[in-house]
Structure 1
């Protein structure tokens, strides 16, 4: 579970000289982000900040497009050779920042290192072997039929195995994966990405400089230097953009969408992300929640569109299912429910016309406006005579309470690490099983053997069309049975100076391809 300004320096007085000489001014951009990466090691932590950093300093084998399909990067093409293996043909002539050549051996070494990472190893647990075919070709082989080999490849950012070989001056192995504390990889990096790190002061500033030997000569990106400045406070981040101290920020607080959109010098890009905010209804604690009519009534009683408009200020998209458009399981007809009259009729039919009392917990600093959303839901449920005793907690205290299932209704948001529909259900709605880990965050204790069967089948179905059918069946069952209350998908957002071509380089996985960013 997954529990980012730019100033263009224009030397006006020298413009005529540059034109005469044919030289171009260095394009420097300052980026105001909520956080910076905790480490220069791309395997130290699975987080949005680390993935963003990896796309700047390293390159994946493949990467996601705006419509969530895959496009070539270090792998120029690929083909499935069996239901357990996919073959990748690597680009030739690629060089690491150290000057070492990129080879198939670097891919194999990197995957083996990923499998040692506490944050990444579970995502590669189905992988059996990295088989080198020749000096340009490598196979990823899984233990059993696997649908997600390309998803794995999107998380493989080959590292320079020669650079990380041996021991450092402190007697530590350079290739060690250290999630917290000092390590060579935490402060040194050699990737194949467009930028290399030239200066880093954690929490204050990181400078990325264009690598002169970068391989992608087809990219239209024209940024030479990126200065990343972490600005945790929302108001300060927006102020930095509006005052011109930075040229781009992420994320954009919902309350400032209107101000930025009204500024003719700025532009806002906000798109539906894949993190869904949900409420789980604990069927073990409350017998009422075992009745599908009650769960349906609660779904019909909650006005998701109203929450998005009035509380989220448009910074979310109302949800009726788990995955957003672009995901394999997405089904257009599964729209958000809201009908107070129908909700009351269902409560009456279920024998609960007079309602009942229940408890609810939600974090107050984990998701955007989480406490306000929970308060609104409690009011909406009161209109069908469900009295909610709501408690909101800081996230540092929330998750222990969540895991202990201390309340009847509990809020949880989920972003699937591999951007795949099945991951939602595997973690949030499969029958809880401590052996397999399925349903680990299913505090509602919903359990449907057919849903489990379909999800397990989807993991091994390598035909995209057939797999889509399986996952859409899952979403239909969950919708029909009101297995949970889907609220909304949080939007991922960026804002910047109008001359920045932001939109073509972002997508719903909340990563910007800064190497392709253009200053117009």
Structure 2
């Protein structure tokens, strides 16, 4: 054989080996509650959306935006941005993607209980032609591109007329899916298994991903999930419990990927349910009685950062001086001043499979509250049951974790802290039922403030007020930890928002 022929043959083998199909068996701690991408604003929903749908644009690991279904965009006016769509994209149904589908999706998001607060700043979306649309805000919007990462276009012809959004309900959209994403859902057994196959008509032909089949198995128990990886039953898991990290690192053939995230874990104290929580001294005492550093050290083994505020240090609202305080003597004194030296009894709820070691953290909190004579009757539930109870505000103290959707402090404030407003969606996750109208006014102002210095003052002002009023109990910013077989190149597709881009995953053959 001639040398040139040998070279060509070798290249052909290399190229074909890259395109060989592979099966990924993945185990996370829970599966998405619904197939409707707008039913619940949750990590599980967004992970699913990146499998079955595609966003207009998405975050890259370096913190910049990557064009996806939108190839590019430009500001037409200070309050209007024009988006240009990729042509030749089809939904799983076979229907072509057009700007009408994107406008339909944005309008639907504005009616979603969970998403409407984020999209309330969007005044309108207008079709210009089949592949061009304008998105307008009532006033200049500093976060328009951040918000558009949550637009996963839905198939208008497929869903329209049967697209009601019912949280935890049985609807057409909660049971059927037609997206443009890299994977097509073939089988779903809620709580036990989901199976996907590669979309043969996927538009992103330049993607390096070679996963042809995806089998997703939710495994709630940390030890069982890790055992499934170590035995070879699955290839990729999340999360890895902090107590198992050292063992995982020492296991041959297994890789561990860990990175800090901006997800804040916190406790809500319901001021409507409990008269005691209306007293700032009581709320401050609870904050002082909870030792965030000890929780991070003993329960999370250092794989988190203790928090004294909502905003992590990469967000504009962060104030370096607002550190978590632990002072049991002062906490007891405040309880005495408030007239509650003898304490009182409260109900408390937390998930037991949503955040890393969430049940153990909740148990530690109850022990700490007991030291200031607050007896917390703790009930923990699986994620699927817990968040319905959370929406119903079923306990006096409730745990919540929140990843800012826009990678900005104001998203934390508008969902967790703002006065609850069903019409706008503000305060949708404010289980404290805390309401400070001046904070809500500042949230509105920050959503349209383009001057960085003025916006900084607004966001830090909110953070300072929350600290002074002890509105909630910040616990810590969670680390993310994944593990996989060495041949599964997860380091290239995971990110600090925990939406792995499985469509681009390479599994070595």
Contact 2:285 2:334 (8 Å CA) reproduced = no
Aligned pairs for 1:286-435 (under 5 A) are 286=276, 289-291=279-281, 298-338=286-326, 343=330, 347=333, 355-366=341-352, 368=355, 369-370=357-358, 372-380=360-368, 386-395=372-381, 407=396, 410-415=397-402, 418-419=405-406, 420-430=408-418
Residues in 1 aligned to 2:445 and 2:166: alpha-carbon distance in whole angstroms? 35
Aligned pairs for 1:78-477 (under 5 A) are 78-117=73-112, 119-121=114-116, 123-164=118-159, 173=161, 180-181=169-170, 183=172, 185-186=173-174, 188-271=176-259, 272-280=261-269, 282=271, 285-286=275-276, 289-291=279-281, 298-338=286-326, 343=330, 347=333, 355-366=341-352, 368=355, 369-370=357-358, 372-380=360-368, 386-395=372-381, 407=396, 410-415=397-402, 418-419=405-406, 420-430=408-418, 448=436, 450-463=438-451, 466-477=454-465
Report the CA distance between 1:515 and its aligned residue: 1.4
Residues in 1 aligned to 2:395 and 2:234: alpha-carbon distance in whole angstroms? 44
Report the CA distance between 1:325 and its aligned residue: 4.0
Report the CA distance between 1:190 and its aligned residue: 3.4
Residues in 2 aligned to 1:372 and 1:338: alpha-carbon distance in whole angstroms? 19
**Residue 80 to residue 229, structure 1, CA distance change in 2 (3 Å):** same
Secondary structure of the structure 2 residue equivalent to 1:112? helix
Residues in 1 aligned to 2:387 and 2:53: alpha-carbon distance in whole angstroms? 35
Secondary structure of the structure 2 residue equivalent to 1:226? strand
Contact 2:345 2:375 (8 Å CA) reproduced = yes
Aligned pairs for 1:495-510 (under 5 A) are 495-510=483-498
Superimposed CA distance per residue, residues 362-415 of structure 1 (whole angstroms, 9 cap, x where no aligned partner): 2254554455434534554566xx2222211245699869967975xx243142
Residues in 2 aligned to 1:287 and 1:28: alpha-carbon distance in whole angstroms? 52
Contact 1:234 1:252 (8 Å CA) reproduced = yes
TM-score, normalised via structure 2 length: 0.80
Contact 1:200 1:206 (8 Å CA) reproduced = yes
Residues in 2 aligned to 1:207 and 1:221: alpha-carbon distance in whole angstroms? 17
Residues in 2 aligned to 1:306 and 1:56: alpha-carbon distance in whole angstroms? 37
Secondary structure of the structure 2 residue equivalent to 1:230? coil
Report the CA distance between 1:217 and its aligned residue: 3.8
Q: How many residues align?
A: 488
Indicate the larger mover: 313-322 or 367-376: 367-376
Q: What corresponds to 2:4 in structure 1?
A: none
Q: What corresponds to 1:8 in structure 2?
A: none
Superimposed CA distance per residue, residues 439-497 of structure 1 (whole angstroms, 9 cap, x where no aligned partner): 56656565555433322211222455643442122213323444433112333332211
Residues in 2 aligned to 1:48 and 1:262: alpha-carbon distance in whole angstroms? 29
**Residue 349 to residue 371, structure 1, CA distance change in 2 (3 Å):** closer
Structure 1: gaps (5+ residues): 1-15, 166-172
Report the CA distance between 1:147 and its aligned residue: 4.2
Report the CA distance between 1:42 and its aligned residue: 3.0
Secondary structure of the structure 2 residue equivalent to 1:412? strand
TM-score, normalised via structure 1 length: 0.79
Secondary structure of the structure 1 residue equivalent to 2:275? coil
Residues in 2 aligned to 1:178 and 1:430: alpha-carbon distance in whole angstroms? 23
Report the CA distance between 1:186 and its aligned residue: 4.9
Residues in 1 aligned to 2:436 and 2:470: alpha-carbon distance in whole angstroms? 12
Structure 2: gaps (5+ residues): 1-9
Contact 1:86 1:139 (8 Å CA) reproduced = yes
Residues in 1 aligned to 2:29 and 2:507: alpha-carbon distance in whole angstroms? 22
Secondary structure of the structure 1 residue equivalent to 2:74? strand
**Residue 53 to residue 279, structure 1, CA distance change in 2 (3 Å):** closer
